[in-house]
Amino acid sequence: MDIVLASASPRRQELLKRLVDNFKIEISNFDEDSVEFQGDIDKHVCDLAEGKARNILNKVQKDCIVIGCDTVVYLNGKILGKPINDKDAFEMLRSLSGNVHKVYSGLVLINSKTNELIRKSVCTEVKFMNLSEDMILSYIESGQCNGKAGAYGIQDNAAIFVENINGCYYNVVGLPLNTLYLSLREMGVNQ
């Protein structure tokens, strides 16, 4: 059965290669703004991931498993998405400085043949060191904060900001591998 990843993220594509030799990439044009946050972060990230997966499910041939994923940074009841500009990135990184935040990923798998649906949410706690203004500005100038939830990528130069994590590292990168592996097995994909 074909595996289809509903994501343009090079990080997710790279991580999925660790589990599946051959898969297709279809970029979802699901409008993430159409899903309003109602206070339940687990449900929210799963709704976003499912929206992406269903968007692709409508475009693909039968007999495939579509994987949708969405990752957000959550701090003090507020979702930190992808920064819209450098000022936004600066404010996000400043708010993360010295604090513990949570990274949530919603993971949804849909079997196009059977309509079987798996929805899972994964949470990882991340503690940042205290960041100086120069550290934040230098990171923003590197361009590595662009397109990343919370304005950072744990796998790039922001790795030095992280004092510790509690949970799945790959969840913070953007694709919780263990959860995905177990979900694929649950759908009958033998790895």
State the catalytic residue, choosing from 70, 86, 88, 156.
70
- Contact by Cβ (8 Å): 104, 40: no
Q: Is 31 a catalytic residue?
A: no
- Contact by Cβ (8 Å): 119, 66: no
Length of the chain: 191
Helical pair 86-96 and 133-142, crossing angle rounded to 10 deg: 130
Give the other-Cβ count within 10 Å of 123's Cβ: 17
- Contact by Cβ (8 Å): 148, 173: no
Structure tokens at 19: 């589990």
**Phi-psi map region of 76: left, alpha, beta (phi>0 left; psi -120 to 50 alpha):** left
Active site residues: 70
